[in-house]
Amino acid sequence: MRGLLLELLCERNYEVTAVASAEEALQAHLQQRFQLMLVDWTLPGMSGLDLCRKVRSIPGGEDVVILVITGRNRPQDLNEVLDSGASDYLSKPIDPEILGTRLLIAERTIEDAARRATEREDMESRLAFADRMASVGTLAAGVAHELNNPLMYVLSNLYLTREEINSREQAEARQQLDEAIHGAVRMQNIVRDLKTFSRIDDEQRGNVSVQNVLESSINMCWNEIRHRATLERDFDEIPLVDVNESRLGQVFLNLLINAVHALPEREMRGNRITVRTYTGDEGSAVIEVSDNGSGIDPDSLSRVFEPFFTTKDVSKGTGLGLSICRNIIRDAGGTIEAESELDRGTTFVVRLPASTRVCASQSTQAPPIKAPRARATVIVVDDEPLVGRSIARALRGHDVEVYSNGEEAIERLCSDEPFDVVLCDLMMPDVSGMEVFGRVREQRPEITSRFVFMTGGAFTAQAREFLKETTLTCLEKPFELRQIRELVTERVESAD
CATH number of the domain enclosing 443: 3.40.50.2300
Q: Measure the CA–CA gap between 349 and 217, rounded to whole angstroms.
A: 16
In a domain, 267, yes or no: yes
pLDDT at 423: 94
pLDDT at 128: 67
- Chain segment 406-428, per-residue pLDDT in tens: 999 999 999 989 999 999 998 88
Q: Of residues 138 and 194, which shows the higher confidence score?
A: 194
In a domain, 128, yes or no: no
Residues 174 and 255 in one domain: no
Mean pLDDT along residues 200-212: 77
In a domain, 464, yes or no: yes
In a domain, 368, yes or no: no
Say how many C-beta atoms besides its own lie within 10 A of residue 78's C-beta.
17
Mean pLDDT along residues 19-37: 90
Residues 250 and 291 in one domain: yes
Residues 345 and 394 in one domain: no
pLDDT at 408: 94
Residues 7 and 87 in one domain: yes
Q: Measure the CA–CA gap between 14 and 19, rounded to whole angstroms.
A: 16
Residue type, 366: A
Mean pLDDT along residues 177-205: 66
Residues 104 and 144 in one domain: no
Q: Is 29 helix (H, G, I), strand (E, B) or coil?
A: helix
- Chain segment 428-439, per-residue pLDDT in tens: 888 999 999 999
Q: What percent of the chain has pLDDT over 70?
A: 79
Nearest to 65 by CA among 15, 117, 107: 107
Q: Is 468 helix (H, G, I), strand (E, B) or coil?
A: helix
Mean pLDDT along residues 276-303: 92
Judged against a pLDDT cut of 70, whether residue 390 lies above it is answered with: yes
- Chain segment 72-103, per-residue pLDDT in tens: 878 888 889 889 999 988 888 888 888 888 88
**Lowest-confidence region among 115-119, 316-320, 471-475:** 316-320
**Where does residue 444 rank: exposed (0-12), middle (13-18), buried (19+ CB within 10 A)?**
middle
**Lowest-confidence region among 254-263, 283-292, 298-307, 312-321:** 312-321
CATH number of the domain enclosing 346: 3.30.565.10
- Chain segment 238-257, per-residue pLDDT in tens: 999 999 888 898 899 889 99
Residues 217 and 280 in one domain: yes
**Lowest-confidence region among 46-50, 287-291, 310-314, 452-456:** 310-314
Structural domain for 444, as ranges = 377-493
Residues 210 and 193 in one domain: no
Residues 277 and 335 in one domain: yes
In a domain, 366, yes or no: no
In a domain, 129, yes or no: no
Mean pLDDT along residues 318-323: 68
Judged against a pLDDT cut of 50, whether residue 124 lies above it is answered with: yes
Judged against a pLDDT cut of 70, whether residue 294 lies above it is answered with: yes
Residues 477 and 349 in one domain: no
In whole angstroms, how large is the CA radius of gyration of the chain?
Answer: 31
pLDDT at 160: 63
In a domain, 123, yes or no: no
Residues 394 and 441 in one domain: yes
Residues 246 and 99 in one domain: no
pLDDT at 15: 87
**Lowest-confidence region among 33-42, 191-200, 298-307, 383-392:** 191-200
DSSP letter string over 106-139? Answer: HHHHHHHHHHHHHHHHHHHHHHHHHHHHHHHHHT
In contact, 412 and 401? CB cutoff 8 Å:
yes
Q: Of 182, 198, 214, which marks where a domain is finished?
A: 198
In a domain, 285, yes or no: yes
Q: What mean pLDDT is reported for the chain?
A: 82
Residues 414 and 298 in one domain: no
Q: Of 164, 179, 198, which marks where a domain is finished?
A: 198
Total domains present in the chain: 4
Give the β-pairing of 206-208 and 241-243.
antiparallel
Q: Of 116, 149, 176, which marks where a domain is finished?
A: 116
With cut-offs at 50, 70 and 90, classify the pLDDT of residue 369.
Answer: very low
